[in-house]
Amino acid sequence: MIKHINKHRNHITAISSILIVSGFALPFLGYESYKDTALITATIIAIIPIAIKAFQAIRMKAFSIELLVTIAVIGALYIHEYTESSVVTFLFLFGAYLEARTLEKTRSSLKALIDMAPQEADVIREGENLTIPVEEVVKGDRVVIRSGGKMPVDGRIISGKATINEAAITGESRPASKAVDDIVYSGTIVDNGYIEIIAEKVGDDTTFAKIIELVEEAQESKSKTQKFLDKFAQYYTPAVVILAIIVYILTRNLHLAITFLVVACPGALVIGAPVSNVAGIGNGARHGVLVKGGEVMDRLSKVDTIVFDKTGTLTKGMPEVTDIKNFSGLEVEELLRLVAKVETISEHHLGQTIVKEAKKRNLNLEGEIINGKVVKGNGIKAEIDSLVLAIGNRKLMDAENIQISDEVSDYAIGREKAGNTAIFAAIDGQVAGIFSITDQIREDAHRALAELRKNGIKKMIMLTGDNRHTAELVANELGLDEFQAELLPENKVEFVKKLKEAGHVVAMAGDGINDAPAIATADIGLAMGEGGTDVSMETADVVLMADKLMQFSHAYALAKATVRNMKQNTFFAVAVVFVLLAGVLSDYVHLASGMFIHEASILIVILNAMRLIRFKSTNSSPNL
């Protein structure tokens, strides 16, 4: 029954409006006596869904706006104010209808994303081509995607190549080229080409599904202001009832008391803050920026200090070996082969770079590695081909008691001043070579940092495990306020803690894996990395899906705009309540007009929030 009524809410609204109109028309047709009957019927029909909601809330021990309206309408019926009672109930229902319609619009960014989800998949099972619903794809399935097709699952390309529009994940509409061994994400579209992938994540586990889930929940997570307003409403609503009773006792004017009940409804106040959040978070999602909730939005807007990791955050994170200086009697290729072989067990990006270089030169890295040991933050040690290798920075050389001659040291410093990371490779206790690796500064770094400063960031600091010379070069190039080099992950955590203790509101931007502890420590943890890793999506407060610094500046500007919008709404709502109260007390505002202003104020705060959907942080950022 209740479900039935709720389903037909809109019909009820329509019927009540017809009854009201006929109620007013009947007297002109000479049926004066039927006027009240029509209006009473209109009131009763329309109050039913409202009263049901009020009752449901009471059962959950919560006072709702519906309760205020129900009491007011019953009171109006009691004093024979049928016009007022019918118009109030109609306006309330009609307002709720408009509210639902416009609220839906504030969620349109998310809906646009959800609509990108594919429905079907072409798979090859036992040599047979099948088209199946996307839910039936299982891990390990071989999936075919043709030009114009949507990726149904996350997977790795096993054959073919394609340019892929990854806007659904990254917000970036410029297609990316992908080939064998690259990862593709569900929801992205093959712009041109043909690929076959092996499904790795399906259903709810895909990155796309996680983004949707995250954004949905973020839109519902409340900021401190919202929580406060919720609490406030909880006491405010019953307080209004009591006040109305007091008004009646003092004035003996039931009409005034009822009007008071209606105009004091905290409608716009309750909806004003959440609706800004929903629109703001939706805007972020469409631009590849996941902001995890209203509270994060709030804190992000207050950030005054940003701590950046260097590698992969300010730089591209795709280092290359630019030079190998050989101090040993070995061939350069042999030196590279030995070092790269040891580095195969390293997960460090610099080690991986050396491995990549060796593979590029088709060196054979097969073979046994004995006593391989990673020295965190410093390098790696191992034995291969009965040689003892130590590969890493100066600290590792010192720790291993390996002499660094002046010649070697001067060379290394020279390379570092030129922006390289110098990796020392020692064989049997002697420095055998130096590997120079550079990582270029991101193309959008200058612009993004300038935008961030313009929007109110006071201090930018870079923390890196890399050497001082390289760090200095990057810091100077980007005009950072401060840098700290040669840090271990735990040093970064300490540094962030100190900044917080000094009263700064700190955002830490990093790649989400190495920097996870520091990201978790900061007021706002921000993870970068294409497609986002599971870890970063779990721990970070803000996730940048397209791996672009410009997204950071957008997120920051968006947070400021969202909080500003929320404040405007709250201020406006409070002002409306005061104006209404003054109007009632001075006898300018009555039941129906009070309800009209109340509903109009709700629509205005929603419309104000909708401006956030189209918010752009810069005028010229097509590739945000």
Partner 1 sequence: MNRALFQIASLDCPGCGRNIEDKLSKLSGVTSVKVFPGLGRIRIEFDETITNAESISNIIRSWGHAVELKKITKEA
- Identified binder of partner 1 from the candidate list 126, 128, 181, 204, rule CB under 8 A: 204
The region of 171-179, 230-238, 490-498, 571-579 touching partner 1 under the rule CB under 8 A is 230-238
Q: Tell me if 64 sits within 8 A of 237, measured CB to CB.
A: yes
Q: Quick check: 470 and 483 in contact, CB under 8 A?
A: no
62 or 603, CB closer to partner 1?
Answer: 62
CB of 310 to partner 1, least distance (A): 32
* Part of the chain binding partner 1 (CB under 8 A), chosen from 227-235, 284-292, 298-306, 583-591: 227-235
At closest approach, how far in Å is the CB of 233 from partner 1?
6
Nearer to partner 1, 227 or 459 (CB): 227
Interface characters, 123-142, with partner 1 (x: CB under 8 A)? --------------------
Cβ–Cβ < 8 Å for 11, 58: no
Instruction: Give me the 378-407 binding string for partner 1, x by CB under 8 A, dash otherwise.
Output: ------------------------------
Q: Quick one: 230 or 383, whose CB is closer to partner 1? A: 230
DSSP result, 99-144: HHHHHHHHTHHHHHHHTTS--EEEEEETTEEEEEEGGG--TT-EEE
Return the number of the residue (270 or 382) whose C-beta is nearest partner 1. Answer: 270
Beta carbon nearer to partner 1, 135 or 407:
135
Question: Binding to partner 1 by residue 521, rule CB under 8 A?
Answer: no
User: Least distance (Å) from partner 1 to the CB of residue 22?
Assistant: 32
For 541, list phi and psi in degrees, rounded to 5.
-85, -30
Give the list of residues 6+ apart from residue 613 with CB closer than 8 angstroms, or none: 105, 106, 108, 109, 279, 282, 283
- Pick the binder of partner 1 from 76, 197, 270, 485 (CB under 8 A): 270
CA distance 120 to 153: 10
Beta partners for residue 132, in sequence order: 121
Stretch that binds partner 1, among 120-128, 193-201, 226-234, 369-377 (CB under 8 A): 226-234
Q: Cβ of residue 602: shortest distance to partner 1, in angstroms?
A: 14
What does the longest C-alpha to C-alpha distance in the chain come to? 116
CB of 217 to partner 1, least distance (A): 5
| Distance between CA atoms of residues 216 and 210, nearest Å | 10
Please tell me the distance from the alpha carbon of residue 305 to that of residue 456, in angstroms, as a whole number.
9
Q: Does 234 bind partner 1 (CB under 8 A)?
A: yes
Which x/- pattern, by CB under 8 A, does the window 29-68 give for partner 1? ------------------------x--xx--xxxxx----
Q: Which CB, 3 or 252, lies closer to partner 1?
A: 3
Interface segment toward partner 1; rule CB under 8 A; list 189-197, 215-223, 410-418, 437-445: 215-223
CA separation for the pair 177, 524 (Å, rounded): 32
- Identify which of residues 203 and 372 has a Cβ nearer to partner 1 in the complex: 203
CB 33: neighbour CB atoms within 10 A?
9
Closest CB to partner 1 among residues 181, 204:
204
Q: At closest approach, how far in Å is the CB of 234 from partner 1?
A: 6
The C-alpha atoms of residue 377 and residue 486 are separated, in whole angstroms, by: 8
Report the alpha-carbon distance of residue 441 to residue 447 in Å, rounded.
12
Nearer to partner 1, 217 or 477 (CB): 217
| Residues in contact with 76: Cβ distance below 8 Å, sequence separation at least 6, in sequence order | 43, 82, 84, 85, 88, 258, 591
Q: Which of 36, 136, 200, 216 binds partner 1 (CB under 8 A)?
A: 216
Task: Give the SS3 label for residue 396.
Answer: helix
Q: Which is nearer to partner 1, 237 or 305 (CB)?
A: 237
Work out which of 104, 217, 443, 534 binds partner 1, going by CB under 8 A.
217
Nearest distance in Å: CB 231, partner 1: 9
CB-nearer residue toward partner 1: 217 or 385: 217
Q: How far is the CB of 566 from partner 1 (least distance, A)?
A: 17
Residues 6+ apart with CB under 8 A from 417: 469, 473
Residue with tokens 């008004």: 247
SS3 of residue 525 by DSSP: strand
- The rounded distance, in Å, linking the Cα atoms of 449 and 314 is 10
Instruction: Single out the catalytic residue among 298, 309, 466, 541.
Output: 309
| 1 binds partner 1 per the rule CB under 8 A | no
Q: Is 428 an active-site residue?
A: no
Using the rule CB under 8 A, give the single segment among 217-225, 244-252, 436-444, 555-563 that binds partner 1: 217-225
Using CB under 8 A, count the residues that bind partner 1.
17
Q: Is 200 in the site for partner 1 (CB under 8 A)?
A: no
Residue 235 CB, nearest approach to partner 1 (Å): 11
Q: Which of 104, 135, 220, 385 binds partner 1 (CB under 8 A)?
A: 220
Is 547 in contact with 575 (CB distance < 8 Å)?
no
Residues in the chain: 624
Q: Would you say 53 or 287 has its CB closer to partner 1? A: 53
Helix 254-263 to helix 591-610 angle (10° resolution) is 10
Q: How far is CA 265 from CA 67, 110, 602, in A?
A: 10, 30, 11
Q: Quote the tokens at residue 427.
A: 């064989």
Q: How far is the CB of 535 from partner 1 (least distance, A)?
A: 14
**Cα separation of 573 and 459, whole Å?**
36
Tokens representing residue 173 in the block: 């509409």
What is the C-alpha separation between 567 and 564, in angstroms, rounded? Answer: 5
Cα 471 to Cα 484: distance, rounded to the nearest angstrom: 8
**Is the CB of residue 321 less than 8 Å from the CB of residue 435?**
yes
Least Cβ distance, residue 134 to partner 1 (angstroms): 18
Q: Which residues contact 211 (CB under 8 A, 6 or more apart)?
A: 113, 169, 285, 290, 532, 545
Structure tokens at 573: 């709502």
Cβ partners under 8 Å of residue 258, min gap 6? 72, 75, 76, 79, 81, 244, 591
Closest separation in Å from C-beta 353 to partner 1: 32
Does 230 sit near partner 1 (CB under 8 A)?
Answer: yes
Candidates 87, 113, 233, 595: give the one binding partner 1 (CB under 8 A): 233
Which residues belong to the active site? 309
- Which residues lie near partner 1 (CB under 8 A)? 53, 56-57, 60-64, 204, 216-217, 220-221, 230, 233-234, 270
